[in-house]
């Protein structure tokens, strides 16, 4: 069996560094395995803007064609757009060539199945069986298979969002909106979407050449220059995304970049007032309880899932939830074609909220509770994950223990979550409390336990 130890393989896809795990030979092997495993007559393919994307997609497309299937290529588009087109076109499958928030020297396959859902663990296992066997059918010579380049099909994604929000109310406001797309997959489609909403669009880093001018992950620290521009330019609101545009961060004229943890609760404030009944919302175990407080204000309940979009979506389906999300800025609205983390859906909902409330974003933000959270990480190499869990467990007492995704300990005033990342060779530690003092106590005890 071959060594794929340098790759990150999970429900978040197959990713690695170019020439250090995710090399042309490995790319071809995974491409052939996917093409062999999937049914249907065509596959929807899209990618982000990183320089390796073109050759990776070319290898992928070749494998799909050799398996007797056609390719519907959307070009450089957001991850949620590929998922939405798979759904709208009733395709059997799709692939996104993107390493999301990872640095430029990484790339990945994100595999999409029916209805635009990411592969489940069972489907990933099926691909891995074929990869490990390394035996594939002979190439099919079929004059009918082709690559059809159709960027306009991306509009199917936008149409499903426009049906979900009050477009006329937003257009009347003529908002001035900044978008920082990190020169990634959202560089063209997000400005187009904002123009459809009648916004005056200010573009920053919207040249999809794959040269990321800031760190790929849109954290507050990465958005210092973007924040300064939003504060000084007179725009009504700003948005920033990661290279594949599934994560969203909000920027306000007074505060600049907000924590990515506020994206989901702001979106919830838009949809909950119009929901009839007791809403169920699914969040992953690492997401802030700010969203819990918003949901509970409307008589609803929050269900926690494992981290990872596929896990959140499955929990939403199982529990018939009306909304979901992840604290990394991932908004999941089941009424939009993408039914996954979708920055464009978040943008639409938040502009809808501003228009319906007739208030600036800073005034709306003031309604939300303060956030006391710390996210840290350390290299996993050389350390057994069970030893990390045992060290944390020994340092705390808690009756609220969850092991569905790593280790999560909770109290009435806060929680700590320790887990290996799905997308990087690291261990993540996230803690939250209802005050800075209590958060510091949790962090101090965690550091003491791990040392």
Residue ranges with strand state E in 285-361: 301-305, 323-326, 330-332
- The tokens describing 184, both together, are 């990634």
Q: How far apart are CA 360 and CA 297, in angstroms?
A: 21
Q: How far apart are CA 391 and CA 304, in angstroms?
A: 24
Q: Do the Cβ atoms of 30 and 127 come closer than 8 Å?
A: yes
What is the CB neighbour count within 10 angstroms for residue 310?
25
Q: Do the Cβ atoms of 218 and 183 come closer than 8 Å?
A: no
DSSP letter (8 states) at residue 68:
T
* 3 state SS of 423: coil
Q: Do the Cβ atoms of 379 and 426 come closer than 8 Å?
A: yes
Q: Do the Cβ atoms of 181 and 210 come closer than 8 Å?
A: no
- The tokens describing 311, both together, are 């896990």
Chain-centroid distance of CA 211 in Å reads: 20
Q: How far apart are CA 417 and CA 415, in angstroms?
A: 7
C-alpha torsion angle, residues 126, 15, 224, 190 (rounded to 10): -60
Whether 100 is catalytic: yes
Q: What are phi and psi of 95, to 5 degrees?
A: -140, 135
Residue ranges with strand state E in 213-306: 237-241, 248-252, 256-257, 280-284, 301-305
Q: How far apart are CA 111 and CA 10, in angstroms?
A: 11
Percent of the chain as helix, strand, coil, to the nearest 5:
40, 25, 35
Which is the catalytic residue, given 100, 160, 187, 305?
A: 100
Instruction: Return the H-helix or E-strand segment holding 400.
Output: strand 400-402
Return the ∠ at Cα 286 (arms to 93 and 403), rounded to 5°: 90
List C-alpha distances in Å: 86 to 126, 168, 323, 339. 20, 28, 21, 11
With a CB cutoff of 8 Å and minimum separation 6, the contacts of 331 are 248, 263, 264, 267, 325, 341, 342, 343, 345, 346, 349
Catalytically annotated residues: 100
């Amino acid at each position: 069996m071959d060594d794929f130890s340098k790759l990150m393989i999970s429900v978040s896809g197959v990713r690695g560094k170019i020439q250090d795990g995710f090399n042309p030979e490995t790319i071809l092997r995974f491409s052939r395995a996917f093409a062999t495993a999937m049914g249907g007559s065509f596959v929807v393919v899209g990618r982000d803007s990183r320089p390796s994307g073109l050759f990776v997609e070319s290898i992928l497309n070749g494998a799909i064609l050799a398996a007797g299937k056609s390719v519907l290529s959307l070009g450089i588009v957001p991850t949620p757009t590929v998922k939405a087109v798979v759904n709208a076109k009733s395709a059997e499958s799709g692939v996104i060539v993107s390493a999301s928030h990872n640095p430029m020297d990484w790339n990945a396959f994100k595999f999409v199945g029916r209805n635009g859902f990411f592969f489940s663990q069972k489907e990933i296992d099926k691909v891995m069986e074929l990869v490990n066997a390394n035996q594939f059918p002979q190439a099919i010579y079929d004059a009918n298979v082709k690559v059809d380049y159709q960027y306009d099909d991306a509009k199917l994604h936008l149409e499903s969002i426009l049906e979900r929000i009050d477009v006329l109310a937003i257009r009347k406001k003529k908002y001035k909106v900044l978008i920082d797309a990190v020169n990634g997959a959202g560089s063209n489609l997000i400005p187009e979407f904002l123009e459809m909403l009648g916004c005056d669009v200010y573009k920053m880093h919207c040249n999809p050449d794959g040269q990321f001018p800031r760190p790929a992950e849109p954290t507050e620290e990465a958005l210092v220059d973007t924040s300064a521009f939003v504060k000084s330019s007179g725009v009504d609101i700003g948005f920033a995304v990661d290279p594949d545009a599934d994560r969203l961060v909000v920027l306000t004229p007074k505060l600049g970049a907000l924590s990515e943890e506020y994206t989901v609760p702001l979106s919830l404030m838009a949809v909950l007032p119009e929901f009839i009944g007791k809403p169920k919302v699914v969040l992953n175990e690492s997401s802030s309880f700010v969203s819990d407080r918003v949901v509970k204000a409307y008589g609803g309940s929050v269900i926690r899932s494992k981290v990872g979009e596929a896990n959140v979506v499955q929990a939403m389906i199982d529990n018939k939830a009306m909304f979901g999300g992840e604290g990394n800025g991932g908004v999941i609205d089941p009424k939009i074609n993408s039914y996954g983390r979708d920055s464009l859906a978040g943008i639409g909902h938040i502009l809808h909220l501003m228009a319906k409330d007739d208030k600036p974003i800073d005034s709306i933000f003031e309604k939300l509770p303060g956030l006391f959270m710390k996210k840290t990480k350390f290299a996993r190499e050389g350390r057994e994950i069970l030893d990390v869990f045992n060290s944390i467990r020994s340092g705390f007492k808690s009756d609220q223990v969850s092991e569905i995704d790593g280790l999560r300990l909770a109290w009435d005033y806060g929680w700590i979550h320790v887990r290996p990342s799905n997308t990087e060779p690291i261990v993540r530690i996230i803690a939250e409390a209802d005050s800075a003092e209590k958060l510091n106590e949790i962090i101090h005890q965690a550091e003491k336990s791990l040392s």
